Amino acid sequence: MAGGRDVNQQSQIGPGRDLHVAFIMDGNGRWAKARRRPRPFGHQAGAKRAREVVEACPDLGVKYVTLYAFSTENWKRSKPEIIALMALFRHYIRKTMHELHAEGARVRFIGDRAPLDRKLVALIQELEALTARNDRVHVTVALNYGGRDEILRATRKMAQAVIAGQLRPEDIGEDTMTHYLDTAGLPDPDLVVRTSGEARTSNFLTWQSAYAEYEFTDTLWPDFGRAEFAAVLDKFGLRERRFGGVTG
């Protein structure tokens, strides 16, 4: 945690910046192992931490937050762990749906929903519909998501549009691709934070993060609280973002 900062202290960035922060929420399993508990225990703690991070966003000047909940590669995990994770997603959507709506959160899900069970998809659709008009904080959950998979799906949709005569190949540009991505209508992330000490992007927001700043912290996700969130934002506020250009 960040050097004794009061948990109620706001980031120096302050509200009104409309930042987009994306999180690779890593370390739940190691957190549970350190406590001699099964991995699902760590995922439960991680889900609770995600909820707390979302609650902190408006006070910290974060308008958009994206959470990497389950990747296309996570299907390689053990069947019991996958079952536990899917049950946890259903539980937390039911539990927090009306709380999030009351707090003015708009919730979206990105990723391929086809492999997900119908009950989970129905809950996702219900939550998205309920919160569709909210604007206090925009929460995006990446579920069965992979950056390469997203780009492939977007490319197929563009190819189908070309075949249908709805799109000309010579008109395809970056804006076109952005329109076909899962994140259409959302700003690109300003900052991507990965917890647990790993320093890789893990196929997360591959297109969108081309010019994002990255912060890698050793803190395991269940221990990443509001104080460290604020400290990370303070550090981000000191960075000079040139987007490929030069200054001075």
Question: Annotated catalytic sites, by residue?
Answer: 26, 74
Secondary structure of the chain in HEC code, one letter for each residue:
CCCCCCCCCCCCCCCCCCEEEEEECCCHHHHHHHCCCCHHHHHHHHHHHHHHHHHHCHHHCEEEEEEEEEEHHHHHCCHHHHHHHHHHHHHHHHHHHHHHHHCCEEEEEECCCCCCCHHHHHHHHHHHHHHCCCCCEEEEEEEEECHHHHHHHHHHHHHHHHHCCCCCHHHCCHHHHHHHCCCCCCCCCCEEEECCCCCCCCCCCCCCCCCCEEEECCCCHHHCCHHHHHHHHHHHHCCCCCCCCCCC
